[in-house]
Amino acid sequence: MRLICRAATVLAVFALPVLAEPNAADPPDPFLILSGGVDRDEDGGTLLAAGIAYLPDDALFLSADLGRADTQTDLSDLESDFAAVALDYSAGPVGFGLSGGWNSSEDTVERYQYGGSVHLTSGGFKLELSGEQWLSDLDSVRFDDLPAPFDRVALACDIDNTVLGLGGSYSGQTFGLYGRWRDYRYADADCDLSLPNGTIISLNGIDPAVLTDETRQRLRRLGEIQRRSGRLQQQVADAAFLDQSIAAGVYWQPADVTYQVDYFRSEEAFGELEIDSFTGSVTFPAGNTLDLELRAGISTGNGIDDVTFIGATLYWYLPL
């Protein structure tokens, strides 16, 4: 039997699960999987991603991933970089996972993440519970629209939050499906207010919902990037400040070709932006040790135009 879905999901720790098994010839243990992909939307936004995964045996899975997303439209070429590492171990029906991540959005926020999960598997069914902690450092905001000297006042804030997730999946020989829900909870913000005379005033315990309008606008811009992100919806979405997200998908693999449909919905906590994305993909062998995935999709949201995107990812299996 070929590798299960976690071996195919090498582009992102937080990416939507690719449930279908790889189509390339079964590589022996241990082996590496190298991957590289690109997505591009109709407005010129681009997502680049690369990853490496190591599977020393059937029980352990290690991965590292990085990428960059940008948009060329009304966001003044706002860019978001991300990186992630993960470990997954299964011992019979019980397993656990550990993860760490980082993302940085230009002139907006830098975020660090760590977390873990436990999962149960039986006969192709899998149930997973996960928890994460996010540490967010918002870039300083200046109030340029105020008269002098108040235009030199700056506000910098830190916001921490937790993410709880529940997911389930079924992976069979030719058919599979999955669903996942994630809930985001935010602590009060801690801020430093810098005055023109150099004085810094600490403002702790601020409700994130009452951040300045300019800061909230920057947070909303992060949501614009995620609707252009193709396969990596979850990982790019985590650069934004979400309230909750839902992911679901189904695949069919009648032979060496895999057909898959994914749905992703996210709701922002501060920008009030809601996004629904649909992606269809086909994966097929491109050589004895290569798989090629081609995909296309559309994202819709409240108060924003629909955007379509296309993308491709190449997987290379290397026996050690």
Question: What separation in angstroms does the CA of 138 have from each of 104, 157, 187, 233?
Answer: 10, 5, 14, 22
**Residue-level pLDDT at 293:** 94
**What residues pair up with 316 in beta bridges, in sequence order?**
34, 290
CATH value at residue 202: 2.40.160.40
Chain CA centroid to CA 243, Å: 14
* Structural domain boundaries enclosing 275: 5-319
Q: Which of 126, 262, 260, 117 is nearest to 182 (CA)?
A: 117
The whole-angstrom separation of Cα 119 and Cα 168 is 9
Q: Which of 274, 231, 315 is nearest to 8 (CA)?
A: 315
Q: Which of 205, 77, 211, 220 is nearest to 143 (CA)?
A: 211
**Residue-level pLDDT at 152:** 64
Compute the residue count for the chain.
320
Q: Which of 178, 168, 301, 182 is nearest to 244 (CA)?
A: 182
**Dihedrals phi, psi of 186, to nearest 5 degrees:** -115, 140
* Long-range contact set of residues 196-202: C-beta below 8 Å, sequence gap at least 24: 196/149, 196/150, 196/152, 196/153
Question: What separation in angstroms does the CA of 87 have from each of 7, 23, 95, 153, 193?
Answer: 12, 23, 11, 44, 40
The whole-angstrom separation of Cα 128 and Cα 111 is 24
The whole-angstrom separation of Cα 148 and Cα 306 is 41
What single DSSP character describes residue 289?
A: T
Q: How many domains does the chain fold into?
A: 1
What does the buried/exposed string (b/e) look like for 167-203 if buried means 16 or more CB atoms within 10 Å of the residue's CB?
bebebeeeebbbbbebebebeebebeebeeeeeeeee
CA triple 279-225-275, angle to 5 deg: 55
The whole-angstrom separation of Cα 225 and Cα 45 is 8
What would the DSSP string read from start to end of 252-269?
E-SSS-EEEEEEEEEEES
**Residue-level pLDDT at 20:** 47
What are the pLDDT digits (tens) for 87-141? 999 888 999 999 999 988 776 788 899 999 999 999 889 999 999 999 888 777 6
**Residue-level pLDDT at 218:** 52
**Dihedrals phi, psi of 114, to nearest 5 degrees:** -145, 150
**Residue-level pLDDT at 10:** 29
pLDDT in tens, the chain (320 residues): 223 232 333 223 333 344 444 555 554 568 899 999 998 888 777 888 999 999 998 889 999 999 888 765 444 456 788 899 999 998 889 999 999 999 887 767 888 999 999 999 998 899 999 999 998 887 776 655 555 655 666 777 888 889 999 999 999 889 999 999 999 998 878 877 776 666 666 666 666 665 544 455 555 555 444 444 444 555 555 556 788 999 999 999 988 899 999 999 888 877 677 888 899 999 999 988 899 999 999 888 876 678 888 999 999 999 88
